[in-house]
Amino acid sequence: MKKSWIESESKKWVEEGIIDESQKEAIASRYERQSTPMLFFFLAAVLIGLACLSLIAANWTSIHHLWRVVLIIGAMLSFYFVGARAFMHNRQGIGVFAFVVALSIFGAGIFLLGDMYHFSMNSAFAFLVWGLAVLLIYLSQPQVFIWIFGLVVVFIGQFVSTMQLHDFDWLLMALFVVGYGTVGYFIKQQNLMWLFTSLLSILLLAFSIQELTYYWYTIFALILYLFSYIIKTGVVSKPLQGVSILSMFIIVVYQALFFNWGWQPVVNDIVYYLFLIPFLSLAVLLAVLNRERFGAIQIVLFLPVFVWPEFSTLLAALVLFAFSIGKMIEGDQLEDSRKEKLGIIAFLISVSIVYVEVAWLVLDRTLFFLIGGIILFIVGLLLNRYQQNQMKGSDDHDST
């Protein structure tokens, strides 16, 4: 929330006599000014790093090999020196900036030297060394932006290795999960955990697609979901559950849309079911034990809809409807408007998918878009009326 907004709003509350001056100060003090300069320093570091990279790359061939090495190591050490001095004088922004530039030079140095001396770069080893260096620097100077930088380096390394080199690097994955994951856990910031879990789920999906078959991602998402019960801290469990549910929603949407196009897998893999059935049962059991009536409903997303090939598209659509209606009811019961909105969005997506699936094959194209537009208009009208009723209800509640 914006601090300036709180200040201007609270001024009105004081004038209207809702709160007094001391209460206003107390409320305003709860909302710290966000450290925007830090973000600018971080982005500046990234841009200057890129500029240095392209400048040197343009004139690279005319410089002698050994001078190039001196240039890389010299530039890296200078930025480390500037960064260390800045941290000593308590100038965190400049310190982070200098360290991120130095780490960028180190990473670029590995690739440039590799190119100069004809190293074979068809593995993620360079990213492993780079990611380790960033983690060590983070441990010496625990600044969130350095952690984010390292996380992105390791993520890109793993993604490139898996998708382009067709080689999922387990050491890099260990660094991502054990190194960066553990540090992220101790930072205890929920938005950072959202970032970590989202990148992790993308890597797991890439692994499933390249090394196994895409549907194995269900097992990994289910493990993330179960971990949200084991690690009870809200900072970690919410992103774990959120990312696993959201990614599974996308997977089911994919299944509902593309199975009809001949992309449906034939799953005879007993091992897959040997993992899926116990994990699914455990998820239901945990939801029941934790008295989460709606927890059990969202688990429908993990169901293997391809188990019944003739009706798998229909099953996928039913799963989407069950999930979205479940979320809407959950939001209504718990008076949680965020969940309610999520349910409405999920419901809209489900309706659109079923409409596309059925109508695209049957209807003429013009009619298809026209009816689609009308359906969306009616849904929009209904949502609008629903929201107005909600607001009216809350006003009535306030007046009584």
Partner 1 sequence: MIRRRVFLIAVALQIVVLLFMVTSSYALDRFGKVITIQTEAYDTEDVFYGDYVHLSYLAETVRSENWFATDDVRSNQQIYVLFTPDEQGSIILRQHLIVK
Report the interface residues with partner 1, using CB under 8 A: 66, 69, 72-73, 76-77, 80, 84, 106, 109-110, 113-114, 117-119, 122, 129, 133, 136-137, 139-141, 165-167
| Minimum CB distance to partner 1, residue 107 (Å) | 10
- Measured CA to CA in angstroms, residue 246 lies from 75, 116, 151, 243, 323 at distances of 43, 44, 21, 5, 11
Nearer to partner 1, 117 or 261 (CB): 117
Residue 261 buriedness (CB in 10 A; 0-12 / 13-18 / 19+): exposed
| Minimum CB distance to partner 1, residue 32 (Å) | 25
| Minimum CB distance to partner 1, residue 77 (Å) | 7
The torsion of the CA quartet 209, 213, 214, 217, rounded to 10 degrees, works out to: -100
Nearer to partner 1, 207 or 302 (CB): 207
Look at residues 328, 379, 375 and name the one whose alpha carbon lies nearest to residue 356.
Answer: 375
Nearer to partner 1, 76 or 287 (CB): 76
Nearer to partner 1, 122 or 233 (CB): 122
Q: Which amino acid would we find at residue 72?
A: I
Nearer to partner 1, 142 or 393 (CB): 142
DSSP letter assigned to residue 73: H
Nearer to partner 1, 211 or 395 (CB): 211
Nearer to partner 1, 6 or 165 (CB): 165
| Minimum CB distance to partner 1, residue 113 (Å) | 5
| Minimum CB distance to partner 1, residue 246 (Å) | 31
Crossing angle between the packed helical segments 92-116 and 36-59, to the nearest 10 degrees: 20
Handedness of CA 58, 62, 65, 70 (dihedral sign): negative
242 contacts: CB under 8 Å, gap ≥ 6: 194, 197
Residue 185 buriedness (CB in 10 A; 0-12 / 13-18 / 19+): middle
| Minimum CB distance to partner 1, residue 78 (Å) | 12
DSSP codes of every residue in 312-362: HHHHHHHHHHHHHHHHHHHHHHTT-HHHHHHHHHHHHHHHHHHHHHHHHHH
| Minimum CB distance to partner 1, residue 150 (Å) | 12
| Minimum CB distance to partner 1, residue 135 (Å) | 9
Nearer to partner 1, 78 or 190 (CB): 78
| Minimum CB distance to partner 1, residue 189 (Å) | 20
| Minimum CB distance to partner 1, residue 128 (Å) | 11
Nearer to partner 1, 66 or 361 (CB): 66
The torsion of the CA quartet 339, 341, 347, 348, rounded to 10 degrees, works out to: -160
Handedness of CA 271, 275, 281, 283 (dihedral sign): negative
Crossing angle between the packed helical segments 190-211 and 217-230, to the nearest 10 degrees: 150
Look at residues 247, 147, 249 and name the one whose alpha carbon lies nearest to residue 197.
Answer: 247
Residue 400 buriedness (CB in 10 A; 0-12 / 13-18 / 19+): exposed
User: In Å, how far from its chain's centre is CA 388?
Assistant: 33
Nearer to partner 1, 182 or 333 (CB): 182
